[in-house]
Amino acid sequence: MEHSGIVELLYRLLPIPAWKAGLARHMESCPACSQRLAGREDVRRVLVQADDLGGLDKIWPAVKRGIGPDLEAERSSGERVSGAAFKTAPSRPAPIVRWAAALSGLALAIALLVGTVRYLGRPDVSGGGDSLAETDGFVLHSARIENEPAKTYIIHPPDDGMIVVWVEKSL
Amino acid sequence: MNEIEMIEACLHGKGEEFRLIVDAYKGPMTALAVNVLGNRQDAEDVCQEAFIQAFRHLDRFDRTLSLKTWLFTILYRRCLDVLRKKRRFRSFFLRAAVDPSPSHQDRGPDAPESGEISKALLESLTAKERSALALWANEGLNSSEIAGILGCAASTARVYLFNGRRKIKVLLEKGYGTLGNR
């Protein structure tokens, strides 16, 4: 596969915009890769520009009506206008905070993954009514509570030298 | 009179001074709105609303920043509001499909009317990608400045820009010759 094809494939596979941006930067500067991108003039040709638009004279009268004499008078008297509908740009956390949050999230995801794999791969969790339960040479033929068969679980924590036997019965 | 003086005059109740600001930016603002929304009528409405909103909140404008960037930020957010609430894109296409106006009859199906962008472009690019492209190509802004307007990280703005450029290249290569508005 040619160089630009590999880069584009990588670009598609990367899930995080910050990583994609690194590859995008490369593709913008690499002569081979940049051939896959529209240039500024191409983009200008397909988008609408200010010069394409005539008849914008009606904007000011509409704005003037919207501003209104009351608002002008309010402003000239020094009163503040209410700004409930105004949206300021959202404040963004500092880069170090964003990185810390991203790393924490990644660590948590890895921990969850490892925990799940280890839990599912545990060979020593077994159970069953009165049936034979066995692990690592430890055999339990039956377990009874009040002379009745009971559910039995043998748990062998992998990092521990002990075996836990859990017997339960619904009363 | 420079921008700061115009703003000061507006803040002291001289609404007429705001006309100078409107006249200076109505073209670029309307063009951005058309590129985001896809049709001129909505673009003009949003533009007027953005100017009114800017006037009402001129006292909050940070004079160390660019007035143009501030106006574009207000406009972009209003455009997103319109897109979210009314889904103008869909209704525009539905109207165009079932009730073509006489001005559409002698043009190709993909040929855009003056002051509108093509259907192929609208369908292929997201609003954020079109915004980033318009700010980059028409206004010459870099990815950091675009990020400030779109309210995202610079890397994200770069990705919008990159995706948009790639999609336009593909469209042009497929022969969408009528993409152009001129």
Written as one letter, the residue type at A50 is A
- Report the side by side order of strands in the sheet with A164-168: A125-128, A151-155, A164-168
Select the residue of A38, A71, A89 nearest B169 (Cβ to Cβ): A38
pLDDT per residue rounded down to tens, chain B (182 residues): 677 777 887 777 777 788 888 999 999 999 999 999 888 888 999 999 999 999 888 888 888 888 999 999 999 999 999 988 766 556 555 655 554 444 444 444 444 555 556 777 777 899 999 999 999 999 999 989 999 999 998 888 998 999 999 999 988 888 765 444 54
What is the C-alpha separation between B43 and B33, in angstroms, rounded? Answer: 5
In terms of Cβ atoms closer than 10 Å to its own Cβ (0-12, 13-18, 19+), residue A80 is: exposed
Q: What is the pLDDT of residue B174?
A: 81
pLDDT of residue B32: 94
Q: Calculate mean pLDDT across residues A159-164.
A: 72
Cross-chain Cβ contact A50/B19 below 8 Å: no
* Amino acid B29: pLDDT: 94
Nearest to B30 among A39, A56, A90 (CB): A56
Entry pTM: 0.62
Structure tokens at B166: 């790639």
Note whether A59 contacts B47, CB cutoff 8 Å: yes
Higher-scoring residue by pLDDT: A36, A83: A36
Return the higher-pLDDT residue of B160 and A128: B160
Q: Count of residues for chain B?
A: 182
Report the C-alpha gap between B109 and B119 in whole angstroms.
9
Q: Cβ–Cβ of A37/B166 closer than 8 Å?
A: yes
**pLDDT, mean of residues A106-135:** 70
Direct distance between the N- and C-terminal alpha carbons of chain B, in angstroms, rounded to an integer: 35
Contacts of A1 (CB under 8 A, 6+ apart): A9
Q: What is the pLDDT of residues A5-31, one digit of tens each?
A: 787 788 878 778 778 888 888 888 888
A12 shares contact with chain B (CB less than 8 Å): no
Q: Give residue-wise pLDDT tens across range A28-71.
A: 888 888 888 898 998 998 898 888 888 888 888 888 888 877 66
Query: Searching chain A, which residue's CA lies closest to the CA of residue B37?
Result: A48
What number of other Cβ atoms are within 10 A of residue A110's Cβ? Answer: 10
Q: How far, in Å, are A108, A138, A146, A156, A166 from residue A152 at the CA level?
A: 34, 13, 14, 13, 6
| Residue B182 DSSP code | -
Please give the pLDDT value at position A151: 82
Q: What's the pLDDT score for residue B86?
A: 65
Q: What share of chain B is helix, strand, coil (3-state, %, to 5)?
A: 75, 0, 25
- Decide if A72 touches B, using CB distance below 8 A: yes
Q: How high is the mean pLDDT of chain A?
A: 76
Query: Is the pLDDT at A1 greater than 90, yes or no?
Result: no
pLDDT of A85 above 50: no
Residue A171 is predicted with a pLDDT of 65
Q: Is residue A116 over pLDDT 70?
A: yes
d(CA B118, CA B112): 5
Residue A50, chain B, CB below 8 Å: the answer is yes
> What is the nearest CA distance from A52 to chain B, expressed in angstroms?
6
Distance CA B1, CA B17 (A): 10
Measured between alpha carbons, how far is B127 from B77 in angstroms, rounded to an integer? 11
Q: What is the least distance, in Å, from the CA of A118 to any CA of chain B?
A: 36
Interchain CB distance below 8 Å, A38 and B136: no
Lowest mean pLDDT among A110-114, A148-152, B66-70: A148-152
Distance (Å, rounded) from C-alpha B160 to C-alpha A18?
Answer: 12
pLDDT at residue B137, as a whole number: 93
DSSP string, chain A: --HHHHHHHHHHH--SHHHHHHHHHHHHH-HHHHTTS--HHHHHHHS--GGG----TTHHHHHHHHHHHHHHHHHHTTPPPP-TT--PPPPPPPHHHHHHHHHHHHHHHHHHHHHHHHHHT-TTEEEESSS-EEETTEEE---EETTEE-EEEEE--TTSS--EEEEE---
Closest in B15, B27, B153 to A64, CB measured: B15
Which residues touch B32 (CB under 8 Å, ≥6 apart)? B72, B75, B76, B79, B131, B134, B135, B138, B139
Residue environment code for A113-126, b if the CB has 16+ CB neighbours within 10 A, otherwise e: eeeeeeeeeeeeeb
Percent pLDDT > 70 in chain A is 74
Whether A53 and chain B come into contact, CB under 8 Å, resolves to yes
Contact A43 B151 (CB under 8 A): no
Q: Which residue has the higher pLDDT, A119 or B29?
A: B29
The predicted structure's pLDDT at residue B69: 92
